[in-house]
């Protein structure tokens, strides 16, 4: 159908069925009205379970309940959606870490709880793992945007551990001779290593041994 014919038909439709046209225009105009964060959370589950490469657009449409046009119109493409999901995951992960540490007046206890949370997750065969770590393994070497987010997550975690260690040192729980920055990096690296180790084994005692040795160095 040519543009001219389409234009004529639309004008006729408007003149004869203006009320119906208004109703249709209203419906079409609402196709993007959904909770963006809810869509990101639903997409997140798919990416965590299947990874980036194995996730199809059809998988995302099925999981989120939005149509293909809305998905592309809102997020542009799968990679852009994935990166936004990764940002949201990072923020959720950071908030969970902050909550865990802030819930303890003794920051060493907070760090211990965080280590054991990671152990519990890793030993749970039904737990899909950490999206940030999974994505780093899968994509960071060939995807600069993913690599940048992984590096940011590591720095953010390191800084959070560092501040907890400063509090612990000020409370007399850690020696004043301890290099807190190096220790914070050690903790950040060990936590990531635990998540990777959990992909090889879900044995609780194995993962707990790793955590306990790491915790024994916080002094």
In eight-state DSSP terms, residue 141 is T
Domains and CATH numbers, the chain: 1-30 (no CATH), 85-216 (1.10.357.10)
Q: What is the pLDDT of residues 15-56, one digit of tens each?
A: 444 444 333 333 344 445 789 999 999 999 999 999 999 999
Instruction: Average the pLDDT over each of 4-8, 42-46, 122-126 and give the range with the smallest value.
Output: 4-8
Q: Other C-beta atoms within 10 Å of 21: how many?
A: 14
Cα separation, 63 vs 78, whole angstroms: 14
Cα separation, 17 vs 29, whole angstroms: 18
Is the pTM higher than 0.85?
Answer: no
State residue 32's pLDDT score.
Answer: 54
Task: Give alpha helix (H) positions in the chain.
Answer: 3-16, 18-29, 36-54, 57-64, 68-75, 78-102, 107-123, 131-139, 144-170, 180-200, 204-216
State residue 17's pLDDT score.
Answer: 41
Q: Other C-beta atoms within 10 Å of 207: how many?
A: 23
Average pLDDT over residues 70-83: 96
CA 137 to mean position of chain CA atoms: 14
Average pLDDT over residues 80-84: 98
In eight-state DSSP terms, residue 103 is T
């Amino acid at each position: 159908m040519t543009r001219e014919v389409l234009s004529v038909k639309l004008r006729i439709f408007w003149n004869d069925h203006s009320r119906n046209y208004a109703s249709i225009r209203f419906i079409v105009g609402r196709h993007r009205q959904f909770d963006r964060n809810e869509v990101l959370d639903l997409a997140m589950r798919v990416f965590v379970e299947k990874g980036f490469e194995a996730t199809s657009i059809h998988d995302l449409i099925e999981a989120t309940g939005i149509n293909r046009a809305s998905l592309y119109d809102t997020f542009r493409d799968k990679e852009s959606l994935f990166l936004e999901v990764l940002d949201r995951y990072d923020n959720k992960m950071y908030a969970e870490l902050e909550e865990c540490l802030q819930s303890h007046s003794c920051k060493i206890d907070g760090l211990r709880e965080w280590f054991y949370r990671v152990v519990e997750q890793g030993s749970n065969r039904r737990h899909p793992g950490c999206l940030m770590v999974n994505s780093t393994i899968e994509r960071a070497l060939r995807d600069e945007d993913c690599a940048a987010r992984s590096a940011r997550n590591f720095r953010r975690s390191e800084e959070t551990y560092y501040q907890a260690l400063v509090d612990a040192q000020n409370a007399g729980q850690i020696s004043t001779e301890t290099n807190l920055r190096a220790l914070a990096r050690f903790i950040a690296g060990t936590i990531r290593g635990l998540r990777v180790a959990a992909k090889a084994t879900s044995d609780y005692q194995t993962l707990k041994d790793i955590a306990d040795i790491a915790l024994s160095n916080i002094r």
